[in-house]
């Protein structure tokens, strides 16, 4: 059975921050009543809002299947994919508040500029096999394939980056901090037996700012792919950084050329 849901949606180009005065020029939360039908998700309701009441509402989406990572937003204050958030999880009388993800600059309405993530990705030295090994000649054990498979499930929705407190409220940390999405990329390459280009541990420590992370696991909690970002990527990388620095045998091994 359908019903009329109460939606509160951020409109405008200012920050959805209640500590600033929200004028029409800056942006504000707007209230709507929208039809909801059985089986629908938040993105369906946002689309109906566009079709019937707010044709200029800016929203980014693509697959509507939880795979492109485009429709990230905060729904009732929680970082979520709108296309994977079922309306049946809310009480029919409840007001559903949809605001843009907060860690990145707002472009308009529900759309943010996520280029910070791509800039950090560009800083990462790319995978490179040992000299003389051509594509098609790569050989690795199945156990090594499976070990990093989890990290390759990332859909780059950037909900982990959005929720990470190191940058969420601290714009000043962004130059030195790459964030959980890029830590799993570093871990994936560090675990790759054929990656011969760089010392990923040193890079994570010196260039990515992995030391800023104090393993609160907020990133893992919001990951729609259920990647164990903290337990399987960040903590192992931190441990290896510490081993490299303080364990005398590991230190000696690194000095005589072992990785
Ligand atoms: Fe692709 Fe939601 S629209 S993940």
**Ligand 1 geometric centre to CA of 46 (Å):** 13
- Mean of pLDDT values over 195-199: 78
pLDDT score recorded for residue 132: 87
Strands 95-99, 3-11: pairing kind: parallel
Please give the Cα distance from 7 to 95 (Å, whole number): 6
Are 81 and 159 contacting, i.e. CB atoms less than 8 angstroms apart?
Answer: yes
Please give the Cα distance from 205 to 209 (Å, whole number): 6
Q: pLDDT grade, residue 21 (50/70/90)? A: very low
- Which protein residue has the closest C-alpha to ligand 1 atom 3? 64
Cβ neighbours for 86, distance < 8 A, ≥ 6 positions apart: 39, 40, 41
> Is 225 a pocket residue for ligand 1 (Cβ < 6 Å)?
no
- Give the ligand 1 atom nearest the CA of 61: 3
- Mean of pLDDT values over 226-249: 83
The string of pLDDT tens digits covering residues 199-225 is: 888 899 999 999 999 999 999 999 999
**Ligand 1 geometric centre to CA of 98 (Å):** 15
> Is 81 a pocket residue for ligand 1 (Cβ < 6 Å)?
yes
pLDDT score recorded for residue 202: 87
Among 150, 210, 205, residue whose Cα is nearest residue 180: 210
Token pair of 248, please?
């005398």
- Give the ligand 1 atom nearest the CA of 83: 2
Question: Ligand 1: which of 59, 70, 101 to mutate, most ligand atoms within 8 Å of CB?
Answer: 70
- Mean of pLDDT values over 79-90: 98
- Give the ligand 1 atom nearest the CA of 64: 3
> Is 83 a pocket residue for ligand 1 (Cβ < 6 Å)?
yes
**Ligand 1 geometric centre to CA of 202 (Å):** 34
Are 125 and 198 contacting, i.e. CB atoms less than 8 angstroms apart?
Answer: yes
The string of pLDDT tens digits covering residues 128-145 is: 888 888 888 888 899 988
> Is 16 a pocket residue for ligand 1 (Cβ < 6 Å)?
no
Please give the Cα distance from 135 to 188 (Å, whole number): 19
> Is 85 a pocket residue for ligand 1 (Cβ < 6 Å)?
no
Among 207, 199, 202, residue whose Cα is nearest residue 259: 199
Residue bearing tokens 């098609």: 136
Neighbours of 54 (CB within 10 A): 17
């Amino acid at each position: 059975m359908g019903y009329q849901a109460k939606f509160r949606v951020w409109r405008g180009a200012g920050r959805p921050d209640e500590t600033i005065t929200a004028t029409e020029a800056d942006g504000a939360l707007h209230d709507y009543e929208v039809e909801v039908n059985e089986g629908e998700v938040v993105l369906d309701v946002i689309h109906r809002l566009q079709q019937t009441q707010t044709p200029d509402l800016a929203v980014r989406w693509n697959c509507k299947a939880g795979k492109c990572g485009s429709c990230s937003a905060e729904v009732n204050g929680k970082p979520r994919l709108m296309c994977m958030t079922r309306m049946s999880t809310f009480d029919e009388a409840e007001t559903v508040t949809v605001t843009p993800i907060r860690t990145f600059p707002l472009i308009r309405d529900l759309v943010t500029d996520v280029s910070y993530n791509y800039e950090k990705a560009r800083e990462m030295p790319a995978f490179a096999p040992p000299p003389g090994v051509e594509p098609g000649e790569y050989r690795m054990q199945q156990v090594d394939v499976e070990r990093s498979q989890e990290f390759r499930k990332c859909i780059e929705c950037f909900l982990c980056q959005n929720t990470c407190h190191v940058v969420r409220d601290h714009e000043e940390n962004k130059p030195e901090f790459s964030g959980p999405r890029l830590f799993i990329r570093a871990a994936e390459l560090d675990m790759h037996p054929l990656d011969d280009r760089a010392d990923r541990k040193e890079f994570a420590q010196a260039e990515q700012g992995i030391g800023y992370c104090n393993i609160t696991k907020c990133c893992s909690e919001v990951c729609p792919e259920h990647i164990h970002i903290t337990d399987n990527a960040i903590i192992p990388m931190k441990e290896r950084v510490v081993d490299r620095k303080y364990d005398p045998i590991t230190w000696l091994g690194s000095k005589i050329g072992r990785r």
